[in-house]
Amino acid sequence: METFGILGGDRRQLYLARSLKEDGFDVSVHGLERLEGAEEFPVLSLEELGRHCQVILLPLPATRDGAFLNAPYGEAPLPLDDRLPRVLRGCCVLGGMVDRVRETSPLWCDLSLEDYYHREELTLGNAFLTAEGALALAIEEFPGSLGGSRCLVAGFGRIGKALCLALRGVGAQVDCCARKPRDLTAIRALGCRPLEYAQARDRYDVIFNTVPALVVGEEILSHQGPDTLLLELASAPGGIHRQAAQRCGLRVVDAPSLPGRFSPKASGELIKEAVYHMLRERRKL
């Protein structure tokens, strides 16, 4: 039976550790020392973690800046240098969005480092959790009611689709921007109004951006009112033109890692399921 090491992360990793423990696995942690609840698990040094644990689980995302592991609750920063792959040599290392981690040391080429965020079951489940979190954040930040509000969703990927469904479920009027004709047809089928980006000239109560490229620019923003809320859901650099929003007097709320904030337990379960699937498939090779 595998022994798991949880390295860094946020409350998602805490619930992941608890769920693994409930399944009967031996779980140790590092980089969660300042997170309430983490004290129920053995805390090991990096070297001890590498020696004791067969499977090391990195956070989602594994790094935010490319220089340090994503470990906001650790006692000290965890630099991404040669030390980490050196102490984890011989372990099966799984993490979320690990490409930038691979770039930090040539030693990663000699390790088994796989990305659990490539799993469709995780990315799809995470999209629905992100949509739930986006609605929760909009309810917190928007002075009106989402029911009956006019909303624009920029992008019709996994998160955009989930947002359209969720917003329709609370009674919002939903426009959604996309570029592909097939997506425009699918948006209409969901009961939302499909738009190309150049057609988005109405005033909205809330604009949700899901595209990590500049799509919500001056033309869209110039038609908005002082109470329009802009929620940036995409990864850096995002898709909302910050300078244009500032010129228009509009407020942009950054909303990264919403599942970690609003639904860490469910997100931790999704990560666990993806990890289990990866380990089972590995045994078949």
Is there a single domain that holds both residue 136 and residue 225?
Answer: yes
Please state, rounded to an integer, the average pLDDT across all residues of the chain.
95
* One domain for residues 246 and 129: yes
Residue 257 pLDDT class (50, 70, 90 cuts): confident
Domain identity same for 136 and 214: yes
Q: What is the pLDDT of residue 262?
A: 95
Pair (222, 278) in one structural domain? no
Beta-strand pair 92-95/112-115: parallel
CATH number at residue 82: 3.40.50.720
In tens, the pLDDT along 87-116 reads: 999 999 999 999 999 999 999 998 989 999
For the CA atoms of the chain, what is the radius of gyration? 21
For residues 42 and 142, state if they share a domain. Answer: no
Residue 225 shares a structural domain with residue 132 = yes
User: What value does the mean pLDDT take over residues 123-135?
Assistant: 97
Q: Are residues 197 and 267 in the same domain?
A: no
Mean pLDDT of 255-270: 94
Half-sphere exposure of 33 (CA within 13 A, CB side): 11
- pLDDT(256) > 90: no
Instruction: Give the residue numbers spanning the domain of 272.
Output: 3-118+263-284
Share of the chain above pLDDT 90, in %: 94
pLDDT confidence of residue 197 = 94
Same domain, 114 and 129: no
User: Residue 79 pLDDT > 80, yes or no?
Assistant: yes
C-alpha span between 112 and 280 (Å, rounded): 15
Q: Does residue 130 sit in the same domain as residue 99?
A: no
pLDDT in tens, 13-63: 999 999 999 999 999 999 999 999 999 999 999 999 999 999 999 999 999
Q: What is the arithmetic mean of pLDDT over 114-137?
A: 96
Same domain flag for 153 and 234: yes
pLDDT higher than threshold 70 for residue 71: yes
pLDDT reading at 284 higher than 70: no
pLDDT digits (tens, 9 = 90+) for 219-243: 999 999 999 999 999 988 899 999 9
Q: How many domains does the chain have?
A: 2
pLDDT in tens, 140-178: 999 999 999 999 999 999 999 999 999 999 999 999 999
Tell whether 131 and 241 lie within a shared domain. yes
- Region class of 171: left (phi > 0), else alpha (psi between -120 and 50), else beta: left
Is the pLDDT at 285 greater than 80, yes or no?
no
| pLDDT in the model for residue 235 | 85
DSSP string, the chain: --EEEEES--HHHHHHHHHHHHTT-EEEEES-TTSTTGGGS-B--HHHHHHH-SEEE--SSSBSSSSBBS-TTSSS--B-STHHHHHTTTSEEEESS-HHHHTT-GGGGGSEEEEGGG-HHHHHHHHHHHHHHHHHHHHHH-SS-STT-EEEEE--SHHHHHHHHHHHHTT-EEEEE-SSHHHHHHHHHTTSEEE-GGG--S--SEEEE--SSS-B-HHHHTT--TT-EEEE-SPTT-SB-HHHHHHTT-EEEE---HHHHH-HHHHHHHHHHHHHHHHHHHHH-
Residues 38 and 62 in one domain: yes
Q: What does the pLDDT read at residue 1?
A: 67
The pTM of this model reads 0.90
Give the tens place of pLDDT for each residue, 201-223: 999 999 999 999 999 999 999 99
